[in-house]
């Protein structure tokens, strides 16, 4: 019931997605950092021995961030179900074209996103592509998810944070060429589906953490917040 992920954030994301797809709800993941940025992995290689001494004494915490549940629907065909740890991105497939997708909340038309695309981010994924697209940073254990436009053709489009009970879906409009990209690891052609449904339900990861891990210390360290100010 324990899997060790050695690498960067991408390795940890792939591991958690595979566990979730197989329905192993009680499997825990320990992320050992050997990458470049490392928002998600908690243990550095040089502190591994000390951490395992504490771990075997039961001195650790478990975080359970929620993941996105995705259903790709096509009439007359079997649904394709996927899990996203960080995000699902609907993005233009060709450099010379724009994407145009309609968004629905609980089956009711909500918005049309016209531009380079749109990101739907989980809370734990808010510091990934979502943050690069000027989306909000969300506390990773929140029961919310976020819609962030990518270089929208309209200056009035802004990110929207939604509670977990909302069901979001997208339909491709017109002849725009749109790709569906899940965690940067799976890709589909949106024209092959009638609608893409996205929720943040009960699927979660089980991440083993230091007892004294502080998410805001992680933000401060990785994003260099306050380094030009006074003493910490």
Residue 46: pLDDT band with limits 50, 70, 90: confident
Residue with the bigger pLDDT between 97 and 146: it is: 146
CB 183 within 8 A of CB 85: yes
Burial class (CB in 10 A: 0-12, 13-18, 19+), 95: exposed
What 8-state DSSP symbol labels residue 191?
G
Is 116 an active-site residue? no
> Which residues on neighbouring strands pair with residue 94, listed in sequence order?
none
Catalytic residue among 9, 87, 116, 183: 9
Residue 79: pLDDT band with limits 50, 70, 90: very high
What value does the mean pLDDT take over residues 223-227?
Answer: 79
pLDDT over threshold 80, residue 175? no
What is the model's pTM?
0.92
> Which residues on neighbouring strands pair with residue 148, listed in sequence order?
119
Q: Return all residues near 165 (Cβ < 8 A) that are at least 6 apart.
A: none
Region at 144 (left for phi over 0; alpha for psi -120 to 50; beta for the rest): beta
pLDDT over threshold 90, residue 44? no
Percentage of the chain beyond pLDDT 90 is 74
Distances (CA, A) of 115 to 38, 76, 127, 193, 195: 30, 30, 22, 20, 19
């Amino acid at each position: 019931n324990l899997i060790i992920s050695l690498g960067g954030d991408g390795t940890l994301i792939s591991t958690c997605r595979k566990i979730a797809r197989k329905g192993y709800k009680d499997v825990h993941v320990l992320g050992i950092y050997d990458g470049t940025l490392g928002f998600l992995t908690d243990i550095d290689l040089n502190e591994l021995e000390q951490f395992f001494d504490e771990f075997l004494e039961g001195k650790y915490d478990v975080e359970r961030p929620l993941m996105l549940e995705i259903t790709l629907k096509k009439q007359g065909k079997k649904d394709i179900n996927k899990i996203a740890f960080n995000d699902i991105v609907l993005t233009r497939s060709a450099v010379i074209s724009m994407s145009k997708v309609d968004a629905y909340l609980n089956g009711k038309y909500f918005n049309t996103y016209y531009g380079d695309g749109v990101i739907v981010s989980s809370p734990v994924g808010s510091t990934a592509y979502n943050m690069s697209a000027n989306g909000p940073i969300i506390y990773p254990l929140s029961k919310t998810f976020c819609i962030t436009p990518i270089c929208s053709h309209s200056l009035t489009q802004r990110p929207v944070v939604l509670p977990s009970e909302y069901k979001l879906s997208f339909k491709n409009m017109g002849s725009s060429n749109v790709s569906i990209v899940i965690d940067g690891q799976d890709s589909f052609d949106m024209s092959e589906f009638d609608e893409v449904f996205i929720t943040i339900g009960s699927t979660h990861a089980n991440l083993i953490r230091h007892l004294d891990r502080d998410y805001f210390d992680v933000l401060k360290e990785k994003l260099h917040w306050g380094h030009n100010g006074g003493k910490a």
